């Protein structure tokens, strides 16, 4: 988690952000804030509006109302490529990679996304000097290195031939290669087994230590509780609670949203476990 010294600068902020699809209010009036260097998580039951929130922040959808600020600058309604250039990179709940490109090439695409408008042919065949190419590769390897040997050892492997967990790491690496101010991860551990999940969480915590600000959508509550500086809880598009893990864990609306009959017992079990793990924090009432 963040030390006090690095906190205090708001990097990403939304004000009363809303998105409706016809009559369905998927995101409703969400006020959200991430400070420089933090890991902030967004949790909530399936269909709560978490991915839609990311989609509006990153310009995939225009908000119905409300505003998005990055580093104090209003970026509401900007297109995804412009948002990426401003410094917000993301991954998707369903992996999106260039399946027939190598690991290295996928990361190079990520670097390129920030610098230019992203026509693929330019990247591979473009008029790069050797020195530029070497510098780009060195940067790519530094990013791949953040995931131990998993990506560097497979740099020439086609993305589609990677193991599932490595494809997820590659997607994060590609996002990081654009040198974002803030990285949005939509369920990065979905489909991973418990030991893979643990490893992924170590890498994500490591990213934070290397200075990356992270917003994390995550279903595995124990994980979220252990690594987040702050947590926002969405339910039916509304932000029903926010605060430190201890605050959120003991919030009655959160317990209701997860333990209430309408939600899955698996989710409830996750929250119950994290409550049981830290009874002191849960009852401290902070």
- Residues at the contact surface with ligand ADP, assessed by CB under 6 A: 21, 24, 26, 44, 46-52
Q: Which of Mg ion, ligand ADP, none binds 47 (CB below 5-8 Å, type-dependent)?
A: ligand ADP
Q: State in angstroms the smallest separation of the CB of 61 from ligand ADP.
A: 7
Pairing between β-strand 39-43 and β-strand 213-217 as defined by DSSP bridges: parallel
CA dihedral (267, 184, 237, 14) in degrees, to 10, reads 140
Q: Smallest Cα–Cα separation from 102: which of 163, 156, 167?
A: 156
Query: Hey, which residues between 86 and 105 contact Mg ion (CB under 5 A)?
Result: 93
From ligand ADP, Mg ion, none, which one binds at residue 46 (CB under 5 to 8 Å depending on kind)?
A: ligand ADP
* Among 14, 51, 189, 197, contact with Mg ion (rule: CB under 5 A): 51
Contact 70, 11 (CB under 8 A): yes
CB-CB contact of 140 with 103 (8 Å): no
| Helical (H) or strand (E) element with 38 | none
241 binds, among Mg ion, ligand ADP, none (CB under 5 to 8 A by kind): none
- DSSP E strands in the chain: the ranges are 10-21, 24-35, 39-43, 65-70, 73-74, 88-90, 182-186, 213-217, 230-235, 238-243
274 binds Mg ion (CB under 5 A): no
Min dist. Cβ of residue 124 to ligand ADP (A): 32
Question: Per CB under 5 A, which region of 9-17, 45-53, 139-147, 200-208 contacts Mg ion?
Answer: 45-53
Q: Which residues bind Mg ion (CB under 5 A)?
A: 50-51, 93
């Amino acid at each position: 988690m963040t030390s006090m010294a690095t906190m205090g600068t708001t990097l990403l902020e939304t004000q009363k952000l809303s998105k409706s699809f016809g009559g369905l209010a998927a995101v409703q009036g969400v006020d959200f804030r991430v400070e420089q260097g933090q890991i902030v998580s967004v949790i909530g039951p399936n269909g709560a509006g978490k991915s839609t929130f990311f989609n509006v922040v990153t310009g995939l959808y225009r908000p119905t109302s409300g505003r998005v600020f990055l580093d104090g600058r209003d970026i509401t309604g900007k297109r995804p490529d412009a948002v990426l250039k401003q410094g917000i990179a993301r991954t998707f709940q369903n992996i999106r990679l260039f399946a027939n490109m190598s690991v290295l090439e996928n990361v190079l695409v990520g670097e390129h996304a920030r610098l230019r408008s992203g026509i693929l042919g330019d990247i591979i065949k473009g008029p790069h000097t050797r020195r530029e190419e070497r510098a780009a590769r060195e940067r790519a390897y530094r990013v791949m290195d953040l995931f131990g040997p998993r990506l560097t050892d497979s740099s020439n492997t086609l993305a589609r031939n990677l193991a599932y967990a490595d494809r997820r790491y590659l997607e994060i690496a590609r996002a990081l290669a654009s040198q974002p101010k803030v990285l949005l991860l939509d369920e990065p551990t979905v489909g991973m087994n418990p030991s893979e999940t643990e490893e992924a969480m170590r890498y994500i915590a490591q990213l934070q230590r290397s200075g990356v600000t992270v917003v994390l959508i995550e279903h595995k509550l124990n994980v979220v509780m252990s690594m987040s500086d702050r947590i926002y809880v969405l339910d039916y598009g509304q932000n029903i609670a926010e605060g430190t893990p201890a605050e959120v864990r003991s919030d009655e609306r959160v317990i209701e949203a997860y333990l209430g009959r309408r939600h899955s017992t698996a989710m409830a079990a996750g929250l119950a476990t994290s409550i049981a793990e830290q009874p002191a924090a849960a009852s401290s009432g902070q």
